[in-house]
Every structure is written in structure tokens, then in C-alpha cells.
Chains A and B, each alone.
Chain A
Amino acid sequence: MKQFIIKLGIFAALVLTVNMLLFVAVYRANYSNLYRNDFEGEKFSSFLLGSSDAESMGNIMEEYGIYNYGAARKQSYQNMQDKLEYMLFNKIAIDTIYLSISDYAISVLHDASPDRAYDMRIRKNYSNSFEYINDRYIKYFAVLMNSYALAGTAILYRGTVLQSPPPRRFSEWSDEEQILAVESAANWYSARSKDMTQALVNILEICQENNITVIGLKYPYATRSVEMLDRHGGDDIMKQYGVRILDYRKLFVGHDDYFNDQVHMNQEGKQEFVKVFAKDIERFRDEGYIK
């Protein structure tokens, strides 16, 4: 028995050491740049929540008083709900949420790969402590057992290690490349997830309860994506809750030079987009729809 315990102990120590090293990598990639740590002195009361569309906007909207909370590569409605609840739990005063209407955020793909916001889990959302401890601590710290966090981290570091060339404008892509890219984007959304749909409903209800205005956002698409991607994420649900939707999908038709890929804008595109977006925000403010 002694021999068995010693060998088991050595094995466990080996596993723990590797886990600890991996935790540092996962933490740096997934958690260290989260806004939650300081909330920037609470100077913002409007937040951008979304998937990669929002994330790729960077801090360009801060000039207009909107903090991009789509950062740290969280891409599901479940994650957005977590962020919203975490902010409220930390007593952040929120006036407006700009919420992505995203096929990807509501897709069943997230059922198998729950997001990585384990550090934001709140006890009240769990029916028992075991599930809470499992999500909040075991999945957070035992990264070796969290294949999703590991895979996500590997993807993030791959870009750094391999030093991939700067992205080409989508207008420079060949027809075949463009079609393949848009078809691939179509596969990001295979079916609507029950859990992610419920998370979207939860977000809208939480906002109603807390007098938070929600504005739905559909980000611009490259020309071929407008033609080939005709999906609407969860806008039917948002409409049921009276959410006003800003649909910019066709804003840059014919301007594929504003895109890095089929759906994500480059810096030039973002700057042009923000100008249009700012006008709409101003209009909403004039109407008294938002503060």
C-alpha cells in the first residue's frame, strides 16, 4: 500500500506541476485582461457585449462612452449573461447594453464547449454548492481537465508563436477563398441552442428588471457574406422584448477593403463604422431612448 500511495503521490505531483504551468498560460490568455478587475473606475455606464464581432472592435468605442466588454474572447450568450450578472453583482451602474445579434453566440456549438468565464460564476445561479464549486473552482484551476480552455489558449498562443502574417483585406481574397470563408462561417451556426437561447432571454429579463436599455447590434458583413449568410441570430427574441435593433449588415456592401475576413472589419472599416454608429447613438440620445 505504501508503495502504491508513494507512486500515486509522485504521479499526482507531476500532474499538479504541469497543471500549474498550464494555469499560468490559460490565465494570461483568458482572464488577465478582463475588465472585471477594476471596471476602469466605473466611468462607463454603457457596455458592448458580443462575440468576436464585438471583441474585434477593440477600444474604439470608448470615445463615445461605451466600454467593450466583448473582450477576452467570450463568445456565447451564456458568457454575456455571466458578464452582465457579474457587473450587477459588483454594483456597476449600467444604463445601456449594446448586444450583438449573433448566429454564433446562440449556436449549439457552445453546448459542447461552454465558455471560459468560470471566474465570474456567482453562487446564486446554482442550485447546489457542488455544481458551483465545480464550475467556479475546479474548472477554473484544474485547467488540465478543461480541454476547452486549453484549446482556446493554444489557438491564442499559436498566433504569437507562429507570427502569422498581417491579415489581407477581404477584397484581396480570391473568389474561391471568399466562398470557402463564407461557407465556413455558415457552419459556425448549425442549429440554435436551447441553453444559449435561454441565456439570451435571461439577459433581456435581467435588463428589464434593472432598467437597462438594450440595443441589438448587427455588425457589417463583407459583400459576399451579405449574399450568402442570411441568418438572424436571436433577433426574433429581442423583438419580443421590444429591443431596438441597429442593422448594419449591408452598410459596407461593395467595400470589401474594410474587412479582414468575411465578417470582421479591419481598422479602417471600424473607424468608418464607428462614425455611422455614433450618429445613431446620438439620435437615440436625442430621442431620450438612451442616456
Chain B
Amino acid sequence: MTINSINFLLFFAAVFAIYYFALKEKTKAQNLLLLAASYLFYGIINIKMVPLLFAATLAFWLLGFAINKANESSEKRAFALTAFGVALGVGVLVYFKYFNWFIESIIDFSRAIGLEANIHTLDILVPIGVSFFTFKLISYAIEIHRRKLTPTTDFVAFATYIAFFPTIMAGPIDRPNGFLPQLAAKRQFDYALAVDGCRQILWGMFKKMVIADNLAAYIDASWSSIGDTTGANLLFVALLYPVQLYADFSGYSDMAIGTSKLLGFRVTRNFNYPFFGRNIAEFWRNWHMSLTGWLTDYVFMPLNIAFRNAGKLGTIVAVTITFVLIGLWHGASLAYGLFGLYHGLLYIPMILMGTMGKKRKYGTSVLGLPSLRDFAGMAMTFALVAFSLVIFRAGSVEVAWEFLQGAVSSPAGFFDSRRFDLAGTYQIRLKIAVVLAIAMFIAEWYTRHYEYVIANLGFLRSGAARMALYFFLLVVICTGKYADAGKIFIYQQF
């Protein structure tokens, strides 16, 4: 059951009705309903993983009290307990996501040096959303240790925070400091927030189902026939993939945030128009913000402080480690590690020049468009990101290398029309997606001060006009979407 499916719509309608009509203003009962709905939602995806989610939640809830108590008596003990919590969270992540990779790496290494390792990989099923809920658990322990949060005595509220169904599959990764107080507060139906949520869901569906999925058809087909397609086509695919990934993940995030708003929750923002970033630092400040913010607070800042005596070199090391972790967070493979390392290295010139954290206003030219200098910066950043996403999309160094070799093939083969041209098969969908993606970026530029493109419809004074716009968008989604079933969200696999 994905968040953009009919099944989810029916499921959510039932939750919404009970939440506001039957349990009106009964906060505890509402939380219990959200918890039950979240576990049901998670159980429908994979019932076997529910005990793990529950056990991890219970363990961290109890750990929170222990850390808080130790904070009063012994800093060492509090630190040790927090470290245990971090190790436990990371351990869960490592076991499910990285264990087999470690074993395979040991086997490969042993073979390379002529030995036969007598170890085997395990048949491990990776729980959906494990990378997201373990980060929530870890942040709960750390925030208590930092004395920025007192442990909640309300287990239902805590478990709801961890398993909150709109965000459990692929985030955003909310911090306990922002979310738990919302669970404790009385929640009445907020008309403005609900309308805002509906609009955001609609906009998210448009990005995911019309732009991302239509691009995916062409991109997936090209990736599965690297040897049969031209270099020009592969370069085009490399430039399209960042757009697909952005439309897919930010579309999902909009739907998750919008759904949360309908239930009266304000969830942390995940994207802030990252492709308007004029350098890699601006890009990462606005891309998957809940993850980068998490790693900045819990990894980069402590490392930067620890290495502060080493000056700029210390910052370079801290940034590089953080980005390698960002890469590896996506999965256990050398490719993801290299993806992170590449981005870490791109920061070095900015660190050396002291421009990493600087914020600069956009210069505008005719019709409010970005200035040439800013546009050049955006284009350069986009190209650098697109290059790195080749290895990200490939998932392995070998496949990425094959792709890059194909993309820079000999001039004769570069535009060879005799080679299989996928554009023929997916021509209409590709054209629709590219035109709409360009329209999306233009609309985003002019509305970049808002959370999403159709957040502010103040210029449409009549309610009928707004409804006509919603209906038009819905028709575009329904008629332009890729398939009946829809494709899964890319970040669901992480």
C-alpha cells in the first residue's frame, strides 16, 4: 500500500473520519488510533517486521528514562547509555542493511588472496523504513542526553512518533523535540491547515505520478539496455535522472507532509528547491533536509568540534566522513560510499576559500529570472550532481563504469541512429514528462519563497477558480500518470 494508492486513500479516509468525528479532541484516544493505524499500515506492508518495530520502540523508550536519570547522577553513565542507544540503533541498521554486504566483502577478499572463507550470507529481509525509524530512535536518545528533551512517559505518543504512518516508509525524519509536543497537544480540525495539506498532496502526486514515473519509464529502459543505446541517449538519461529522483522523492515528501497536515501535524520540510543551489553546499542545504540536518547535528558538528584544532583540514575530514555516511545510509555498496565521498570532496574548494556556509541573495534579470551568474552556478551544480547520480543509480561501480563508457562512446556511435533508440518507444511519455518538468522548475522559481508551488493561491480570489485548478491538476495526474498500478517510490527501498 503506497501513499498514492486507492487503498491508502480508503485507509486514510477511515482514519480521518474516526480521528475527527468519533475521537474529537480526545488527544490520548486520537494518539491510540494513530498508533493502531500506523502499525496496521506497517503490518500490511510486512507483518513480520511489526515485532521488530515494537521491540526497538520499547527499548528506546525505556532507555530514554535511563539516560535522563543518569544525566542527573553521572555524565559518564549517561554518555555510556547514549552510546549504547546509538550502537543499538546503528546495530539494527547494520544487521538488516549491511550484514550481508560485510560477509560478501569478506568472502570476496578471501578469494582474492587465495583463501576460501567458510562463512555465508543470511536470508535477511530488510524492513521497510528501517533507515528512517532508527534515526528517529537515535535522535530521541541523543536529545535526552543533550538535555534538550525530557523523556515522555506516554508510550503511546512515543510509539506513534516512531511509527507515524505518513512518514514511516521514507521520511521526512522528524525530530522528537518538534513532534512529541504536537502529540501531547489538543488537536482540533484546522481548516486552513487541512486545505494546505490537500494542496500539497495534489502537488506531490503531480510530481511523482506524472513527472517522475513517466521519466522512469524511459530512464529504466535505457539503463537496462546500456549496450544497445547511443552515447547521446545515455548522456540525456544521466541529465534526466536527477529530475526523476527529485520529482519522486520530493513528491513523496509533499504527500507525506500533506497527509500529516490533514491530521493536524506539521512535519519537517524535506526539500527547498535544491536545484536552485548555485554550489554543492547550497544544493545539500536544500536536498533531503531532514537527513542532512540529522547528520549535521549528530555527526558533522561533533566531528567538527573534535577536529577544531586541525583548522580547515579538520572541517574537510568532518565533511568527508559525514558525506560518506550519507552515501552509505542509502545502502551497503561501494557505489553509495563513493557517491558520498565524491560530494564530500566537492566541498573542499569551498572550505579552503571559506565560502561553505555563506548565503548570498539571488540576482535577478528580466522577468524575475535568475541572473546569468546564478544560472551558470545552478547549471554547474546540476551537472555535478547528475554525474554523481550515475553511480547512485547504477548501484555498483561496474555498472556505473559501463554506463559512463557508453556515454562517451566514439563519435561514430554517439548519435548512431541504427542503434536501438528508446525514444521511439517512450516518445510521448518522455515528451510529456520533459515539458512538464521544465514547467515545474519555472513555476518553482517564481514560487520559491513558499513551501511548494501551489501553496499560495491568493491570486485566485474565487473559490470556484481554485476548485477548477485542483480539478485540472487532478485530471492532468489521472491522464498523464504512467501506469495504473504506479511505481514504488525510489526512497522506499532505503
CB-CB under 8 A from B225, the residues of chain A are 190-191
Q: Does B425 contact A (CB under 8 A)?
A: yes
Contact with B along A146-186 (1 / 0, CB 8 A): 11101100000000000000000000000000000001100
Known A139-B484, A142-B6; contact A147-B224, beta-carbon cutoff 8 A: no
Q: Tell me the chain A residues, 1-18 only, with Cβ under 8 Å from chain B.
A: 1, 3-4, 7, 10-11, 14-15, 18
Smallest CB separation, B227 vs chain A (Å):
13
Give the distance to chain B from A131, nearest Cβ to Cβ, in Å. 10
**How far, in whole Å, are A148 and B478 apart by their CA atoms in the complex?**
10
CB of A109 within 8 A of chain B?
Answer: yes
Chain B contacts with A in 456-494, Cβ cutoff 8 A: 463, 467, 470-471, 474-475, 478-485
Known pairs A15-B474, A145-B6, A147-B482; A7 contacts B189 (CB<8 A) = no
Interface of A is mostly: helix
**A114 contacts the other chain (CB 8 A):** yes
Q: When the two chains form their complex, are residues B471 and A4 in contact, meaning their CB atoms are under 8 A apart?
A: no
Interface residue? B352 (CB, 8 A): no
Bound complex: CA of A193 vs CA of B470, how far in Å? 37
A138 at the interface (CB under 8 A from B): yes
Q: Which of A1, A112, A134, A142 has the most CB of B within 10 A?
A: A112
Q: How far is the CA of A3 from the CA of B189 in the complex (A)?
A: 11
Residues of B within 8 A of A1 (CB): 20, 189, 191
The A/B interface has a contact count, at CB < 8 Å, of 67
The size of the chain B interface, using a CB distance under 8 A, is 30
- Output the least CB separation between B481 and chain A (Å): 5
Whether the Cβ atoms of A11 and B467 lie closer than 8 Å is yes
Q: Mark A104-129, 1 if CB is under 8 A from B, else 0.
A: 00000100111000000000000000
State whether A191 and B224 are in contact (beta carbons under 8 Å apart), knowing that A1-B20, A14-B471 are contacts in the complex. yes
B184 within 8 A of A: no
Q: How far is the CA of A11 from the CA of B471 in the complex (A)?
A: 8
Contact partners of B195 in chain A: CB under 8 A: 4
Residue of B nearest to A142 (CB): B6
- A4 x B483 contact (CB < 8 A): no
CB distance from A3 to the nearest CB of B (A): 6
Across the interface, B470 reaches (CB within 8 A) one of A11, A114, A130, A134, namely A11
Which residue on chain A has the smallest CB distance to residue B421? A187
Closest residue on chain B to residue A145 by CB atoms: B478
| Nearest Cβ on chain B to A12's Cβ, whole angstroms | 11
Our pick among B422, B463, B471, B478 for the contact of A190 (Cβ within 8 Å) is: B422
Nearest CB of chain A from residue B192's CB, rounded to whole Å: 10
B217 located at the interface, meaning its Cβ lies under 8 Å from any Cβ of chain A in the complex:
yes
Q: Quick check: is B291 within 8 A (CB to CB) of the other chain?
A: no
Whether B467 contacts A7 by the Cβ 8 Å rule is yes
Give the interface of A toward B (CB within 8 A): 1, 3-4, 7, 10-11, 14-15, 18, 109, 112-114, 130, 134, 138-139, 142, 144-148, 150-151, 183-184, 187-188, 190-191
Supply 7 A–B pairs (Cβ within 8 Å), ascending by A: A4-B194, A114-B483, A138-B6, A150-B478, A184-B424, A190-B420, A190-B425
- Nearest first, the 5 closest Cβ-Cβ pairs linking A and B are A187-B424, A1-B189, A187-B425, A112-B483, A144-B478
